[in-house]
Structures are given as C-alpha cells and as structure tokens.
Amino acid sequence: MPELSTALVVGAGFIGTHVAQALAERGVQARVMTRSPLDDERVARLAGAELVIADASVRPALTSAAAGVDHVFFCAGGLMPAESNLDPAADVSLALPPVLNMLETLRGHPGPGLTFVSSGGTVYGPPERVPVAEDHPTEPLTSYGIMKLAAEKYVLMYERLYDLHARVLRCANVYGPYQRAARGQGFIAAVLDRVRTGRPVVVYGDGLNVRDFVYAPDVARVMADLATVRDGPRVLNVGSGRGVSLRDVLAAVAKVTGIEPELDRHPDRGFDVRENVLDVTALRSLVDAPSTSLEEGIRATWASVYRGVTA
C-alpha cells in the first residue's frame, strides 16, 4: 500500500479545494498549485496547504512543485462543458497542455502516483444503458468531454509505456460548498445562487433529466482513500450511483431553504443527455463510496452559500 504523507494538488478550484481539505484532515502535507493568486478566504479554505502560484503548463514550475511528493492530484480543467462547445479550439488549447506537461514531468521524475480527475457526466455521452459502467462506449457531446477523454488516454498511455502509477476518476455531477454558480459550474450551485438572490432558475428541457449528484467532500475523501490503493482498475467511476431528476433537486432545495424556486424554462440544448447515473460497483469494491444524501448535501451547501452572503 503506497504511503501518502505528502501530495501535490494541481488546481485550487472547486474540487482541488476539497481535496486539500481531505488531505489536511488525514495529516497529509499538501502543496496546492494554482495559476492565479487567491484571496485570503480561498487561501484559508486550503487548510494549511503550501500554496504555489504557477502555471501547470510550465515545466520547471511543475517539476519543482512535484519534487518529493508521494502523489499528485490533477484537478485542473479547461472551459466548462457548455461554454466549451462555443469555442472547441480554445478548449483544446486550454485543456491538454497542462495534462501533457504533468505527464512529461512525472515521466522524467517517476515515483509519485497520479490521480486524474475526469468527468463521468460528459465522457460517456448519451447512455445506452443506466447505470453507466466504465466499459460503456464513450461518445461525448461536448468538447469538454472529448478533451477529458483525450486526457484520460494520454494518462493511460504514459502509465503503460512509462511505468507511471495513475488512476483516472470519472466523477459524476459533483456539487457542494465553493462551487461557483457564476462560472456555470453545476446545477445545484446555480439553483442555490438563484434562490439566494431571488432570481428564477434556468432549466433546459422539461426538468426530468436525471443526473448522479455527488457531494464534493465525499469525492475528495474517496480520492484520498484511493491514493493509498494500488490495485483495481485504472479507470473508475465516482458517483453516488443514484439518479435524481432536476425536479427532485428543486424540491430538495425548496425543503432545505424554505423557498420555492421560480423557474425560467428554456428548450433542451441538444448536448444535455437525458439520464446519466454512474455504476459505482468497481469503486465500492475498493473504498467506501460516497454516501451523503442529496438533502444533507444541499443543506451543507446552502449553509455555506448563505454564510457567503452574510459574511
């Protein structure tokens, strides 16, 4: 079982922040690498991790940040799924260079394990069967999903050719504190933001699209747990394994906040799949799978959003 006493987290966004917290909770000394300086509140969220402000697509910066760590958690991304289709060329130039730089860095300095955060919500495309297992065909309908898939293939190629110890985690629709509604991250973040600011919630389609919402602190804990497990498949789904419709989310939000969300209905966007629920059988065979209930997770997220307002 690999030791996990020091780690590098690439990306101080939504998921990277939760990973830093999960690592701090288990006493792992973490270093967090992010391109832009953070304000004090965001630094505080990193729970004592060493902060490195540098671009992950620059080789020397990454080499020095990765020096001596037991594990690298790669949590940096390109554009958001919806905006990626507006400019696929920009998405390509943003999404892949940091991943390739990371892989070349680890190739030159082998040792640390690698966890690559991929997207179970986009790489599969329209499911032929639900729940979606890891061997399901991958036919993404967003540039975001295509680039995640290409990045996965590079990770697996480097693993095979250059003895890298890597795992790809295809995360479902992750939600929780720190998710930024303004950047278009996540339906739950958007709903809570709209409820907080008294604006109507934008819903594409009939509201019956089904998603696998998984609570970010659960995902971060799973990531930290898996980093100490060498066995098992190289590609793993990480989700709740439960399907919830957008209407179910709206009902849960109403219950938690006491506010009935107003709706702003739009036609289906074409690239939104009808139903996406991940099969987490393989994950369960290795570690404790995410278990926070939707209501519980929304309650904690709302508390965080609400604190944000009153702070």
Contacts with a copy of itself, residue ranges (CB under 8 A): 85, 88-89, 92-93, 96-97, 100-101, 103-104, 135, 137-143, 146-147, 149-150, 153-154, 156-157, 160-161, 270-271
Nearer to a copy of itself, 59 or 255 (CB): 59
Element (H, E) at 21: helix 14-25
Smallest distance from a copy of itself to CB 196, Å: 33
Smallest distance from a copy of itself to CB 100, Å: 5
Smallest distance from a copy of itself to CB 145, Å: 8
Nearer to a copy of itself, 248 or 272 (CB): 272
Q: How many residues does the chain have?
A: 311
Before 140, cis peptide (omega within 30)?
Answer: no
Smallest distance from a copy of itself to CB 266, Å: 16
Distance CA 193, CA 201 (A): 9
Distance CA 114, CA 23 (A): 15
Nearer to a copy of itself, 58 or 303 (CB): 58
* Measured torsion, CA atoms of residues 78, 80, 82, 84, in degrees rounded to the nearest 10: -10
Nearer to a copy of itself, 76 or 216 (CB): 76
Smallest distance from a copy of itself to CB 149, Å: 7
Smallest distance from a copy of itself to CB 103, Å: 8
Q: Which residues contact 209 (CB under 8 A, 6 or more apart)?
A: 245, 246, 272, 273, 274, 275
Nearer to a copy of itself, 157 or 208 (CB): 157
Which residue from 80, 16, 3 is spatially nearest to 42, judged by alpha carbons?
16
Smallest distance from a copy of itself to CB 92, Å: 5
Nearer to a copy of itself, 55 or 225 (CB): 55
Distance CA 278, CA 157 (A): 24
Q: Other C-beta atoms within 10 Å of 227: how many?
A: 25
Nearer to a copy of itself, 17 or 101 (CB): 101
* Measured torsion, CA atoms of residues 80, 305, 227, 79, in degrees rounded to the nearest 10: 10
Smallest distance from a copy of itself to CB 252, Å: 31
The SS3 of residue 96 is: helix
Q: Which two tokens stand for residue 1?
A: 């079982």
Amino acid at 108: G
- Paired with 71 in beta bridges are 7, 113
Nearer to a copy of itself, 56 or 216 (CB): 56
